[in-house]
A = this chain, B = another copy of it.
Amino acid sequence: MIIQTLSTAECTALLVKNRLARLACAKSDQPYVIPIYYAYADRCLYAFSMPGKKIDWMRENPLVSVQVDERGAGREWKSVVVDGRYEELPDRIGHKVERDRAWSILSKHVDWWEPGALKPITPPISDRSPHVFFRISIEQLSGREAKE
């Protein structure tokens, strides 16, 4: 096995291809990590969530870390870690294009779109919906791979 650093382009390709990530936020030095589903576009990871602990924490401290990996053939793997910033996208300031695009990507690919919540039957399209739509803007990313 050889361990190699991934280029920025290779890191981005991995983020584009995958949907499942682990998102870590932090409050008063206590980290909190959970699985999320996301869709990549324009150096951002878009996601939906029910309100709860992670949303409360990210509203208070928008600094997050996101990790995505994939297994290759045999013992090969790739892993990417993102330093990012949480940004909430409420309907009233208009993010319909991004929201519809993210929903369309995620609803196609994901059975388990929000661990801890049931998949809604219709897209969350208004302020009356309990779902929070947000993005993580990528400030830094790094990755490694193991090759046979």
Residues of A at the B interface (CB closer than 8 Å) are: 1, 3, 22-26, 29-35, 61, 63-67, 69, 75, 77, 79, 81, 83, 111-112, 115-119, 144, 146
Contact = CB atoms under 8 A, between A and B. Distances in A.
27 contacts: A1-B118, A1-B119, A22-B24, A23-B33, A24-B24, A24-B26, A24-B33, A24-B65, A25-B31, A26-B31, A30-B83, A31-B31, A31-B32, A31-B33, A31-B64, A32-B65, A32-B83, A34-B79, A35-B69, A35-B79, A75-B112, A77-B112, A77-B115, A79-B115, A79-B116, A112-B146, A115-B146
A7 to B, nearest CB: 16
Interface centre among A33, A83, A115, A146 (most CB of B within 10 A): A33
Given A31-B31, A32-B81, 15 more contacts: A23-B33, A24-B33, A24-B65, A26-B30, A29-B61, A29-B63, A30-B65, A31-B65, A33-B66, A33-B81, A35-B67, A35-B79, A79-B116, A115-B144, A116-B144
Main secondary structure of the interface of A (DSSP, over half): strand
B26 A29 contact: yes
A112 B93 CA distance: 45
